[in-house]
């Protein structure tokens, strides 16, 4: 088992924002994590990456408690927000920094960037400007590329489709799907973009107010309809008075 959750809770301001009794993620699963704002998705991903401490419970990565060891970091990568970026670096400097930490060769970096050329759309490399000066969309791309660069066996992404134009959303959703299929990469992707999540996920977890409301695999048309109904809000302007 790649990831196991046991009695995991997080409390902010005396309010329990996440409470997961037991959850297991197997090797090679592509899990779509969905839910409305405040559902606990980002909190969950931050707990999975040991960025915040749980109030109770634990996260196991390959049977090891992530708060007690660093080993999981060598096969795990994530991009959750712009806090992961080094904003006074250029994109090239940022990629080189990540490559040096993971001992990735220059040729391997160049090969990956070549595969992602359409995703970058000529707007990232060779611009001689700091990451902080890029648009939000291009910062998002830099963060995603940085997370992929180490060829992780486990990858966490929070709202990777945010700020991206439709072509870039389509490209990266397909790329992540292929990453999962070709290399058996385990992915957990949080997103409000239901269509992208429905298309690529082998399993979907729906969070509601910090609780798992649904955990379903495989993803099929019946599940899509069920989840779509959950997110529907009647238009009060068309309701009869």
Instruction: Report d(CA 1, CA 121) in Å as an integer.
Output: 38
- Intra-chain end-to-end CA distance of the chain, in Å: 54
Point out which residues pair with 77 in neighbouring strands. 155
Each residue's pLDDT tens digit, 46-65: 999 999 999 999 999 999 99
Tell me what percent of the residues of the chain surpass a pLDDT of 70: 96
Return the pLDDT at 236: 40
Angle at 52 between CA 31 and CA 94, to 5 degrees: 75
Instruction: Report d(CA 226, CA 15) in Å as an integer.
Output: 29
Q: Is the pLDDT of residue 241 over 70?
A: no
Q: Can you give the length of the chain in residues?
A: 241
Tokens (6 digits) for 163: 């700020």
Return the pLDDT at 66: 97
Domain spans, the chain: 1-75+152-230, 81-151
For the stretch 61-74, what's the b/e string if a residue is b when 16 or more beta carbons lie within 10 angstroms of its beta carbon?
bbeeebeeeeebbe
* CATH dotted code for 1-75+152-230: 3.40.50.300
What would the 3-class secondary structure string for 23-53 be?
Answer: EEECCCCEEEEECCCCCCHHHHHHHHCCCCC
Return the pLDDT at 233: 55
Tokens (6 digits) for 33: 């994590």
Given a contact cutoff of 8 angstroms between Cβ atoms, the answer to whether 227 and 214 are in contact is yes
Tokens (6 digits) for 125: 């490399």
Instruction: Report d(CA 112, CA 57) in Å as an integer.
Output: 38
Q: pLDDT confidence of 218, banded at 50, 70, 90? A: confident
Each residue's pLDDT tens digit, 125-181: 999 999 999 999 999 999 999 999 999 999 999 999 999 999 999 999 999 999 999
**What's the whole-model pTM score?**
0.93
Return the pLDDT at 10: 98
Tell me what percent of the residues of the chain surpass a pLDDT of 90: 89
Given a contact cutoff of 8 angstroms between Cβ atoms, the answer to whether 100 and 86 are in contact is no
């Amino acid at each position: 088992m790649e990831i196991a959750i046991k009695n995991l809770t997080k409390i902010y301001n005396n309010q329990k924002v996440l409470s997961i009794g037991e959850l297991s993620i197997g090797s090679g699963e592509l899990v779509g994590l969905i839910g409305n704002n405040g559902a606990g998705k980002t909190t969950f991903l931050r707990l999975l990456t040991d960025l915040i401490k749980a109030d109770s419970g634990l996260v196991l990565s390959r049977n090891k408690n992530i708060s007690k060891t660093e080993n999981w970091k060598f096969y795990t990568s994530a991009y959750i927000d712009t806090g992961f970026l080094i904003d006074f670096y250029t994109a090239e400097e940022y990629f080189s920094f990540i490559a040096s930490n993971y001992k990735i060769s220059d040729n391997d970096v160049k090969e990956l960037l070549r595969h992602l050329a359409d995703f970058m759309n000529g707007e990232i490399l060779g611009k001689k400007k700091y990451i902080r000066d890029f648009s939000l969309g291009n910062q998002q791309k830099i963060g995603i590329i940085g997370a992929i660069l180490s060829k992780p066996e486990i990858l966490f992404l929070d709202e990777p489709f945010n700020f991206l134009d439709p072509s870039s959303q389509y490209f990266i959703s397909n790329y992540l799907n292929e990453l999962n299929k070709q290399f058996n990469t385990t992915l957990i992707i949080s997103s409000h973009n239901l269509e992208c999540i429905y298309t690529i996920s082998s399993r979907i977890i729906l969070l509601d107010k910090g609780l798992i409301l649904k955990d379903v695999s495989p993803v099929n048309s019946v599940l899509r309809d069920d989840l779509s109904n959950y997110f529907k809000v009647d238009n009060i302007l068309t309701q009869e008075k």
